[in-house]
Amino acid sequence: AVLFLSYGLCQDVVRLLTGTSKGADLSDLQKASAGSLASIFSSMVLCPTELVKCRLQAMHEMEATGKVARGQKSTVWSVVKMVLKTRGPLGFYEGLTSTIVREIPGYFCFFGAYELSRSTFAQHMGTDKDSIGILPLMFSGGFGGACLWLMVYPIDCVKSRIQVYSLAGRQEGFMKTFLGIARNEGITALYSGLTPTMVRTFPANGALFLAYEFSRKFMMETVGA
C-alpha cells in the first residue's frame, strides 16, 4: 500500500523534475524512475517487519547453535520486545541500508519491466496500454516481478543475513557480509531458493497489478463522476 501510494506521488515528482505538465502520461523510463524513488519510502515500513520475520525464522537455528537461550518464545511479540529491550526503537532499522540498496534498483526493474511489457503488448495489439486485456496485464505484472527478483535476490540474501546476525549481537556491514558469503559458501549461495521464488512471483505479481489497475480505474471513474 505504501509503495503504490508513494508511486503515484513520485510520478508527480518526476513530472516536476522533468518539466512535464501535471497529469501528462510519463514514459516507461520515467515511471520506472518513479517506482525506484517510491521504494525508499516503502523501505521505511518494510525494514522493521522484515527484521522481525527474519528473526522469527532464525530463532530455532540460533537456539540450536546456542546463540539464543533455549526455551525462548518465538512469537512476533517476543521478538519485538527483545529488539526494543536490547537495541531500542532504532533496532528495527538494522539492515535499512541494505533494504534501500535492494529496493531502489529492484523496483526500477519492477515498474520498468511492467510498463515496458504493457507498451509492447499495446503496440502489438494496436491499442492503448489500458486496453490490452486481463491476461497481457497479468503477464506484464508477473514479468515485472520476475525482473525484480532477478535483480535483488543476492542483495536480499545479504540483507537477511545481516538481520539474523544482529540477533546474536554481530554487527556486520553489507560488503563484509556479501564477501563472507561469496568466500565461504560460493556465489551460488546468494541465489539459493531463487527457483521457487520465481515460480511464486509470476502469479502473485500478476494478480497484484491486476488488482492495482482495476482499483485505480475504479477510483478515477468514481472521482471523475
The structural domains of the chain, with segments of one domain joined by +, span 2-224
pLDDT in tens, 183-213: 888 888 888 888 998 999 999 999 999 999 9
List % helix, strand, coil for the chain (3-state, nearest 5): 85, 0, 15
b/e burial code for range 67-91 (CB count within 10 A of at least 16 → b): bbeeeeeeeeeebbebbeeeeeeeb
Q: How far apart are alpha carbons 140 and 171 in whole angstroms?
A: 39
Higher-confidence position of 29 and 91: 29
> Among 223, 12, 213, which residue's Cα sits nearest to residue 130?
213
Is 24's pLDDT higher than 80? yes
The set of cell numbers assigned to 107 is: 523496483
Is 223's pLDDT higher than 50? yes
Note whether 130 and 191 are within 8 A (CB): no
pLDDT recorded at residue 60: 61
Pick the CATH number of 2-224 from 3.40.1000.10, 3.40.640.10, 1.50.40.10, 3.30.70.370: 1.50.40.10
| CA 139 to chain CA mean position, Å | 19
pLDDT recorded at residue 49: 86
In angstroms, what CA-CA distances link 222 with 18, 22, 196, 210, 219?
29, 20, 39, 18, 5
Instruction: Write the single-letter amino acid at 192.
Output: S
Task: Answer yes or no: pTM beyond 0.75.
Answer: yes
Binned at pLDDT 50, 70 and 90, residue 225 comes out as very low
Instruction: Write the single-letter amino acid at 167.
Output: L
pLDDT in tens, 46-92: 888 888 887 777 776 656 555 555 555 677 888 888 888 888 888 88
Average pLDDT over residues 28-45: 93
Q: What is the DSSP letter of 27?
A: P
Is 141's pLDDT higher than 80? yes
pLDDT recorded at residue 38: 94
For 68: left if phi > 0, alpha if psi spans -120 to 50, otherwise beta; the answer is beta
Is 167's pLDDT higher than 70? no
